[in-house]
Amino acid sequence: MSEAPARCGVIGFPLAHTRSPELHRAFAEQCGLAQGYSVLAVPDSDFEPAVRTFFANGGCGLNVTLPYKQRALELADSASERAVRAGAANVLARQALGTVLADNVDGVGFLRDLKRLQFDPRDSKVCMLGAGGAAAGVTGALLEAGVGAVGVLNRSVGRAQSLISRMDDRRVTELSGEGGTFDLVINATSASLANECPEFPDELVGRATLAYDLVYAREPTPFMQRAAGLGARVSDGWGMLVEQAAESFFVWHGVRPDTDPLRLETR
């Protein structure tokens, strides 16, 4: 690795617990690619100037995390279709002429992890708990993948309705009283971060359900524990985190790292 390292990083606030640097260091090593990776924990008023300075100084790409995913989409010169549909960007990438592209790789990361779990989303019936940026990215990807139906249940009804109108697809509806059991129940709320479980009726989950918490956790989250108690197969979001990091690496460098060793070893 003799060339100058491509400058990449993650921007958000706070960033004390980010796992992105270790994932990206391992990807760069695996691919024999020189990449420096910085952690930019910037307060609210500094977000746009920090991004502009980063790219003006030759930066190659940024991962964007809470609370800046929407502002990242707004400040970029162009955006991918998946970022526009999600209304949020978690990747910024410098383009050939120095312009900045906004992208969203949450959905593709989620679909790759579903594949590992041998869950085929085609024609499946999905319940989406939560209606924030991650729910939007994942719902868009599920629609692309041919999902049968997505019922959205969120603490604040207004946000669920905004997600449904943003998706603009008759397969995405508010969860009705007679939803029955779902093939896949996704916890796309941030409740697990507060060690809480979002409210949902027991009947959504059965023995054939895959219950997936987007939050990555070393121990089962309250959502995973409850779903397992109802007979479901469960997963946390570590695999998705690794896959979306690999996809952002691909967006920046055009090389896709092998995620298997990282998913198994880095944890």
What's the CA gap between 108 and 91, in Å, rounded? 13
**Joined tokens for residue 222:** 């309250």
**Binding of residue 135 to ligand NDP (CB under 6 A):** yes
Neighbours of 169 (CB within 10 A): 14
Find the binding residues for ligand NDP in span 24-83 (CB under 6 A): 66
CB of 187 to ligand NDP, least distance (A): 8
**By CB under 6 A, which span of 36-44, 140-148, 193-201, 223-231 interacts with ligand NDP?**
193-201
Catalytic residue among 51, 54, 55, 69: 69
Residue closer to ligand NDP by CB (options 164, 241) is 241
Pick from 92, 126, 172, 191: which binds ligand NDP (CB under 6 A)? 191
User: DSSP assignment of 83-131, as one string?
Assistant: HHHHT--SEEEE-TTS-EEEE--HHHHHHHHHHHTT---TT-EEEEE--
**Binding of residue 102 to ligand NDP (CB under 6 A):** no
> Would you call 69 a catalytic residue per the annotation?
yes
196: left (phi over 0), alpha (psi -120 to 50) or beta: beta
What's the CA gap between 90 and 107, in Å, rounded? 11
**Joined tokens for residue 55:** 């790219």
**By CB under 6 A, which span of 14-22, 23-31, 71-79, 129-137 interacts with ligand NDP?**
129-137
Find the binding residues for ligand NDP in span 141-180 (CB under 6 A): 154-156, 159
**By CB under 6 A, which span of 46-54, 115-123, 208-216, 246-254 interacts with ligand NDP?**
208-216
**Binding of residue 240 to ligand NDP (CB under 6 A):** yes
Contact partners, residue 159, CB within 8 Å, separation at least 6? 131, 132
What's the CA gap between 93 and 113, in Å, rounded? 23
Count of residues binding ligand NDP (CB under 6 A)? 28
Neighbours of 14 (CB within 10 A): 11
**Binding of residue 237 to ligand NDP (CB under 6 A):** yes
**Binding of residue 183 to ligand NDP (CB under 6 A):** no
**Binding of residue 216 to ligand NDP (CB under 6 A):** yes
CB of 6 to ligand NDP, least distance (A): 22
32: left (phi over 0), alpha (psi -120 to 50) or beta: left
Active-site residue list:
69
Residues forming contacts to ligand NDP in the complex (CB under 6 A) are 66, 106, 109, 130-135, 154-156, 159, 188-191, 193-194, 196, 198, 214-216, 237, 240-241, 244
